[in-house]
């Protein structure tokens, strides 16, 4: 279908954004209409860029608190208005009032940050990303979405890697949203499509050879009791256990054994794994390091996705069977390994969305953690890189609101 984009005044667009957000916040970030909506966002941002973009915000705004007053507040309000986060009707003025707090929170949510309503380091960084960079992100996302051919079934799961998040979708509505921890830059989570087939309780973890070489062997050189403390075993031919004391760890370069961790709460997979057979050998799982979910920046894994509240997600996947959250909890408490096959597999897509427009009309941005938002990062890309235009020096006095209304746009660190 052709994309229809009607330019509206910033006043009307902002009101539309608020109403749509309340009504459609439960629609998925990745669905059949994501491409068309993101194209709308690209058009809107092209218009913003054509009008000069938005001003750079000084670092002094990080010292602002509610009820503060002055030129920094006025500049912040101007910046938030240009991105559609602050209603134009709140201008002019230089007071950090409730409307500014709400606008900062809205901006933070759109960028995957904790919505505290004050400007921290990460929020300042996001505010000062030039509109040309945002255009590149939207264009790169559109390139990646082309021709993916994902089957948006009645029930499916989405892992957005830059967003470090998971959505469980049924009949076009998000039933569950989960924070996730995904691969760090040197151990990237892959973009793929697969099917979830089973839930594994109290799983073993067999360390990949790459992790044995990069992590476990160096650990054993420094801490000879590391394997014992971590409840790990060395297994040789026919799964015969090898005594770690017999291994020449100092000279070992290529392991001749596998390393397997026993089930339990300290297991690297936690106490539950969601299996989705694929060529990249990645999956969704629990973790014993649950404090990491409190961070705004959650790129800490070796490629798999750790999921906050993964037992709830497993219960959702097993709906229609005899398994409930309560029965899963009881079975996990027994401490025995168990595989539960889904009666019907559920499609899952691991996607790389750094800029997209949701069904609620809000444009979302996340950091390009893997550096893929470039022509080199996209195969057969048609991206034309945009460079920021020189901006005039920031005025020290309160900026004047624009005379021409502009279209609104329809990720533990400080935020």
Which residues are marked as active site?
Answer: 285, 304
Q: Which H or E run contains 199?
A: strand 192-201
List of residues 6+ apart from 8 with CB closer than 8 A:
16, 407
Q: Note whether 374 and 383 are within 8 A (CB).
A: yes
- What residues are paired with 177 via a beta bridge? 167
Helical pair 98-110 and 71-82, crossing angle rounded to 10 deg: 50
Tell me whether the omega of the peptide bond preceding residue 173 falls within 30 degrees of 0, making it cis.
no
Burial 65-86 (b: 16+ CB within 10 A, else e): eeebeebbbbbbbbbbbbbbbb
**CA proximity to 309, closest of 187, 210, 167:** 167
Spatial separation of the C-alpha atoms in residues 5 and 41, rounded to whole Å: 9
DSSP secondary structure letters along 278-304? -TT---EE--S-GGGGG-S--EEESSS
Spatial separation of the C-alpha atoms in residues 225 and 72, rounded to whole Å: 56
Structure tokens belonging to residue 189 = 């989570």
80-83-88 Cα angle (round to 5):
60
Q: Give the CA diameter of the chain.
A: 78
Spatial separation of the C-alpha atoms in residues 229 and 51, rounded to whole Å: 61
DSSP summary character for residue 371: -
Spatial separation of the C-alpha atoms in residues 168 and 163, rounded to whole Å: 15
Spatial separation of the C-alpha atoms in residues 204 and 315, rounded to whole Å: 20
DSSP summary character for residue 175: E
């Amino acid at each position: 279908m052709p994309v229809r984009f009607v330019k509206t005044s910033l006043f009307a667009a902002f009101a539309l954004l608020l109403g749509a957000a309340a009504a459609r916040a439960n629609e998925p970030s990745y669905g059949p209409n994501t491409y068309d909506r993101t194209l709308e966002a690209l058009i809107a941002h092209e218009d913003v860029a054509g009008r000069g973009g938005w001003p750079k915000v000084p670092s002094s705004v990080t010292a602002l608190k509610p009820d503060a007053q002055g030129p920094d507040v006025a500049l912040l309000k101007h910046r938030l208005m240009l991105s559609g986060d602050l209603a134009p009707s709140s201008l002019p003025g230089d007071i950090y009032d409730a409307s500014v707090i709400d606008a900062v929170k809205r901006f933070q949510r759109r960028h995957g940050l904790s919505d505290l309503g004050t400007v921290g380091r990460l929020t300042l960084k996001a505010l000062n990303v030039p509109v040309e960079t945002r255009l590149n992100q939207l264009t790169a996302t559109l390139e990646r979405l082309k021709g993916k051919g994902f089957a948006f079934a009645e029930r499916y799961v989405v892992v957005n890697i830059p967003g470090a998040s998971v959505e469980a979708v049924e009949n076009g509505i998000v039933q569950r949203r989960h924070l996730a921890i995904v691969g760090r830059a040197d151990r990237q989570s892959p973009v793929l499509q697969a099917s979830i087939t089973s839930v594994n309780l109290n799983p073993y973890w067999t360390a990949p050879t790459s992790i044995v070489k990069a992590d476990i062997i160096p650990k054993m050189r420094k801490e000879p009791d590391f394997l014992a403390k971590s409840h790990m075993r060395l297994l040789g031919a026919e799964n015969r256990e090898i005594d770690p004391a017999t291994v020449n760890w100092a000279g070992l370069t290529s392991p001749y054994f596998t390393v397997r961790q026993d089930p339990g709460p300290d297991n690297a997979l936690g106490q539950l794994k969601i299996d989705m057979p694929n060529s990249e050998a990645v999956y969704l799982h629990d973790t014993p390091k649950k404090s990491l979910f409190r961070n705004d920046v959650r790129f800490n894994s070796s490629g798999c996705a750790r999921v906050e509240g993964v037992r709830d997600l497993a219960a959702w996947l097993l709906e229609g069977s005899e398994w409930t959250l309560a029965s899963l909890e009881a079975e996990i408490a027994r401490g025995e390994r168990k595989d539960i096959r889904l009666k019907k597999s559920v499609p899952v897509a691991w996607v790389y969305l750094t800029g997209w427009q949701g069904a609620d009309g809000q444009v979302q941005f996340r950091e390009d953690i893997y550096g893929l938002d470039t022509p080199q990062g996209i195969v057969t890309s048609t991206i034309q890189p945009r460079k920021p235009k020189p901006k005039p020096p920031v005025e020290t006095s309160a900026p004047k609101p624009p005379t021409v209304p502009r279209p609104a746009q329809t990720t533990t660190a400080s935020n």
